[in-house]
Chains A and B, each alone.
Chain A
Amino acid sequence: MNTPQLRRAVVHLCALTAAVGVAWSLPLAQLGCTHFKEPCHLSNEVTLFSDPGLDGLSGTLLEGPDGGTILRFITYKTASADAGAEASDVADAGAGASGLGGFGTVSLSSPIPSQVDIVLSAVTPGAFIRKTFGAPMELQARAGSTTDIAATYTGQAVLFSWVEQSTHTDANGLVHNGAALRYAVSNGGASLPAALARGCDGCTIHATAIATHGATFLFYSGVQEGKSKPFGGVVRMDPPGVTVEHIPVPSWFISPAVPPRLSLSNGKLLARLSTGSYVVRDDLALQIGPFVPKGSAVAFVYGDGDPYGAWLETPGTSASSDGGAVFGDLGFDDLGSSGGQDLMLGRYSAGGTATRISTASNVLGVVRGEGTFGVAFASGVREYFALTGADGEKVGGDVDIGGTLATSLEAGGGRRVMRSVHGPATFSIVGLSGSALLSREVTCD
């Protein structure tokens, strides 16, 4: 083959290659060969509320009505037996994916609140209402032996509830424990006198409260000495402190050791007990359950007749090691991220499947849109948002929504910051930064 022949052969080969390339490209073009486009983006970040006077206090975020946010700050009394106790929030029994839950489950040495500040913030920046509710005198008079303290914002008032522990010794020297569950409603001025919800000798009582958009419930359960079967009940108030109704609760709802963790989602009560989790209607009739939440840092959402959750799982592989990883003879030095768990989204009903949607170090919240789920999560020092379809399959990538906020909110034992959603394509992710309430809005196409 001479040189012209070689050149001709090369030209023919080039033409053949180009033809093969075109043949590939044609069907792709017909399919609409378009570049990746992130469906969601951070569209806005606004300060909804800021008050330097609240700096240093620890707050809790809750989902409020009409897309608003409730920010609750608690001031503790510092006198008597609790002197020196740090002003800090306590484990939040009701801070799930949504709800107006109270707080409770505190130990005997926990501080006694003197007042609760509620900031009711709307979606509009600067539009907020701040109210102060003084704790009932009966509660403030306590110097110790007080557990299960809860302060539940009902929309107009705050329902305070607590369990007073007592002991007495029989003439024969036997020591008995007693408990009294009391509650009182504070309307912002003087509190109504405390009432007894349940009291008993030789028993223990645990309690928790939650306010739905219709009524406020004070749940309790306990166990009598010498008996294995626990007792329980619920005080339903509508409005709080005025119409009071004692109603029985189903046996599965009664957990003697710890009170149920309650949250609201789409008008349904979600109760998490040691035996599993349940979805109940407003009249406390069981709708779904029990189901066992998977993983850790679980955030719940309810939709389409099923409970859904976002949670963290220890990865089955090291693929999710987000930071400081060393790959063979290759090292990544300080990638600025320590999130190393699989972030899962799944349905809890029988046969429900779960899908991994990212890698994360904490779940911040999950919301249900129209045919979508939005999940906010943290990975190391950054916060992200991920969108999925109704089947849980992820759409697009992680949307970086900024640095992590208010780690103190998350440091108290797995509490999650509530995030609110409004509209099918806009997700408002509200977080507390110091004494400011920040809303990060993610808009999706």
Chain B
Amino acid sequence: MTRWLRAAIVTMGALALGTVSGVARAGEAAELSLPTELVVAADPKLSMDVGIITLRSLSLFAFQYELALPDAKLRGRPRATFALNMLGRLAEEVFIAAPLVEAEVGAIHEVFGHGARGRELRLEPVYQFSLPQPYRAIFSPDDHGDHSAFTQFQATHPAQQDRDLATSLAGIEANLRTAHLVQADMVKHDGVVHHADLLAYFGKLVYSSSVYDARILSKNGFDGGNDASAFVTLLADRFNRFRPEERTSVAKRLQTAYIWNLMDPTLGLAAYATVRRVVLGDRYVQAPLPHILGATVYAAPRFNLSPFGAEHYIDVFMARNGALVDVYGRVGSSGLASYTGSGVHLTDVTVSRRVRLGAELDLWSQPETLLDVRNAYVRPQLFGASGGVTGDVRIGAGFGVMGKLAYKSAGYLQGQPLDEGLYGYAGLTYRP
């Protein structure tokens, strides 16, 4: 069985599962909604997490335009009206929703993926963005470039693998991180999620076609390069797998590992939510998550690219009364190094009417990350940890403050700074 076929079967299975799940709740989801909350978070280096939190919030806030459209609930209306409205929503999806989400996903990828790592490592990132589709095709018909956005670092530094690897994979990492946060919020809200969030969920598949493109197996990868190919190249280089067949082996490992990213029922839900939005006009869907002892429970695979290769997570989410517990374990599959970890994240535990608190602990074992050393192929294996608290306080008149304060040892943790030290963010929230 070819990898393509295997990946296709897995994807179709996930889609089917998600579709069945969504249909199961279709009748109940007609009037679903969630409170809209605007969050603007920041930290000194405008890191990955603050970007994702803020842009997701802004994007969902922007989708309030939907409320100004004619009532989307059209069941029982005449077929002609139904068809016209469906066409209208298709046009809305193509010309408004999709470009909005593409802008969100692209900004997360570039500005808070590559860019966040670049700021963290003082590389002076600059960006170029093209128009989102379909406007790019309409207004820039001669733009045949492979990328709709581009990040470039202006700082002059000698090449350094750990830094180059971290910045190179950070775009995909940010999109995968976004998907994880969407999924966590979905469980927290008992499976209810806005279709735009699920549209952005597809961002986790960025460069997936490149992963299974035959060119990634060649000795040089893609001629023009792309993030997936660059990741393979830099990873092989970092671990001194310099021969062409060794690079190919690293790429094949990634192809196999990437199946984990496709084995995701939430992808199916995302596809279903998009179709449902167009056909029925539903803004929200609800995943049929099981309940155990009154808590919403969901075990989901999570995929990530780390500086040591692909990572496979199992997240076990449990939510009750707006509080969420995420217990996860992660293990690496590149065969280039041993890298494992686990953690517990507890968020939004209601302490009082105005205050919600959380705590998180992450542990890992991985090769030491060396940002100041060039071409050191053999590293010590280190144990590391990160621990912190989160808080959300309602002030009044819809406004509130939120934040996170954490400390971590040096090492790689998805979406977090590489170096040792205090980190976190603070933000303002507004709930109309």
> Which residues of A are at the interface with B, using a C-beta cutoff of 8 A?
1, 3, 5-7, 9-10, 13-14, 17-18, 20-21, 24-25, 28-29, 31, 33-36, 38, 315-323, 325-337, 342, 356-359, 379-380, 382, 384, 386, 393-398, 400
Contacts and interface: CB of A to CB of B under 8 A. Distances in A.
List the 10 closest A-B pairs by CB distance, nearest first: A319-B237, A327-B230, A397-B376, A21-B363, A328-B227, A397-B373, A331-B152, A316-B244, A1-B293, A328-B226
A383 to B, nearest CB: 11
B144 interface: no
Given A24-B365, A318-B233, A397-B370, A332 B153 contact: yes
Nearest to A318: B220
Interface of B: 109-110, 114, 146-147, 149-154, 156-159, 164, 167-168, 171, 207, 219-221, 224-230, 233-234, 236-237, 240, 242-244, 247, 293-295, 318, 320-321, 323, 325, 327, 340, 342-344, 346, 349, 359, 361, 363, 365, 368, 370, 373-383, 385
B309 to A, nearest CB: 15
Nearest to A360: B375
Nearest to B248: A317
Contacts of B229: 328
Contacts of A329: 109-110, 114, 146-147, 149-151, 171, 226-227
A1 B295 contact: yes
A315 B242 contact: yes
Nearest to B245: A316
A20 B377 CA distance: 28
B244 A3 contact: no
26 contacts: A6-B323, A9-B318, A13-B325, A14-B359, A17-B342, A24-B383, A33-B383, A34-B380, A36-B370, A317-B236, A318-B220, A319-B236, A320-B242, A322-B158, A323-B159, A328-B225, A328-B227, A330-B151, A332-B152, A335-B157, A357-B375, A380-B158, A394-B376, A395-B378, A397-B370, A397-B374
B147 A328 contact: yes
A316 to B, nearest CB: 4
Contacts of B340: 24
Given A17-B327, A17-B361, A317-B233, A331 B150 contact: yes
Given A327-B227, A330-B114, A35 B382 contact: yes
B247 to A, nearest CB: 5
A332 B242 contact: no
B399 to A, nearest CB: 27
A334 B340 CA distance: 35
B158 A382 contact: yes
A317 B227 contact: no
A316 B242 contact: yes
B55 to A, nearest CB: 17
Contacts of A36: 368, 370, 373, 376, 379-380
Contacts of A379: 158-159
A335 B156 contact: yes
A330 B230 contact: yes
Contact of B159 (A5, A337, A400): A337
Contacts of A1: 293-295, 320
B239 to A, nearest CB: 10
Contact of A330 (B227, B243, B295): B227
Contact of B225 (A20, A327, A333): A327
A316 B164 CA distance: 19
